[in-house]
Amino acid sequence: MIVYEPRAKWTQDSFVAKFIEKAGCKDFPSLLLKSQKDPEWFWELALKDMGLQFRTPYKKLLAEGLPWPKWALGGEISVVENCIDRHLKDHGSDTALIFEADKPGESVSWTFNDLARESHFIAEELKKKGAQKGDRAALLMPMSLEMAAAFFGILRAGLTVVPIFSGYGAEAISSRLEDSKARFIFVQEKTTRRGKEIPVRSTLDEALKTSPSIEHTLILKRADFISQNHQASSSYHSVASPAESPVLLLYTSGTTGKPKACVHTSFGVLATTGKELRYTFDVKRSDRFFWYTDIGWMMGPWELFGVLQYGAAVVLFEGVPDFPEPDRLWKIIDDHQITHLGIAPTAIRVLKKAGDSFVEKHSLKSLRILGSSGETWDEESWKWFFEKVGKTKCPIMNMSG
């Protein structure tokens, strides 16, 4: 049974529809087949369409093939340049981040100028502490403005970022710090969840007892970033790296053994997230994108890398979807006119139990595309998400699970 067909006008004008035409293909299956036969042809065309910028142009895009491909040989690229700095000249005053705190009513927005300035500040602080290109810096923070400043500040300085789920215990944190050999770690002064303070600092103190590689702990206070009084040199450019340099170490949950670090490279993470956000989620500069996640899970870095490439805004939320009421997410969508909502099936099951009335009292008319990740769906929850949240008008794009 077909429950959704892409017949809305926006789907005919979508980036993927236009890309099929540019590729000279009659439909999506033919594009898919051609891309599988000639991946270098596909990526050359996609990179041009995406507008990805290299500091030093590559000599050959696919130097070696599967199973161990070598990408963008000789090319150098900057994540920060593609996600922030290239927007500053003409779109610096556009909204880049919208932060919703655990406590309702505490909403703050940053422009691309704000994010550039704050990431400059973090990069310079790291340099003052002796950070070198290629060093690793960990994040133990919720989805917040100060987290985003640290995330991109680490990358601006040429370091590799290691995000760690802020809800982990000391042993889980220590195992990731020990394995990554991180020299620096950023932590929130305090974090709240369901209105209660979470003892992240004391948990980190315990973890550091068995994490000898950490030389500096940088404690970020929210008030400092909300006031935006930081001063940084405007001439501090982002560090460009060879295309296959590691920029992100993201650890598995460890539920099936020792946590393993997935290594993401500067070119790889920009190309992949850029492709998915453009052709799967049709992200435009005017969009507002919200994935309910944590920076320690892939969807956190994924949305920052992908959405900001296109100058759209990312919504950061540090709370839980049913506090203080089960309509918290639906209110956020209407308040900020969010166009894209991504969420895990588990969270939908929780919200569904609260009843239809909480979602029905909000219009949600700004939504265009829904997303899911993390696990498989049960049919009843999928239908509720599609019918009650998406009003049967929004496709659900499943990213994983």
Mean pLDDT over residues 188-192, rounded? 84
Predicted confidence at residue 233, as pLDDT, reads 65
CA pair distance 258, 176, nearest whole angstrom: 10
Mean pLDDT over residues 336-348, rounded? 97
| Tens-place pLDDT, residues 98-126 | 999 998 888 999 999 999 999 999 999 99
| Tens-place pLDDT, residues 236-287 | 689 999 999 999 999 987 777 788 999 999 999 999 999 999 999 999 999 9
One-letter amino acid for residue 137 of the chain: A
| Average pLDDT of the residues of the chain | 94
CA pair distance 290, 322, nearest whole angstrom: 16
More confident of the two residues 155 and 401:
155
Q: At residue 381, does pLDDT exceed 70?
A: yes
Mean pLDDT over residues 51-64, rounded? 97
Helix or strand (DSSP H, E) at 186: strand 184-188
CATH 3.40.50.12780 given to domain 38-319: yes
Q: At residue 235, does pLDDT exceed 90?
A: no
Predicted confidence at residue 1, as pLDDT, reads 84
Per-domain residue ranges for the chain?
38-319
Predicted confidence at residue 66, as pLDDT, reads 82
| Closest listed residue to residue 122, CA positions, set 230, 25, 20 | 230
Mean pLDDT over residues 161-176, rounded? 94
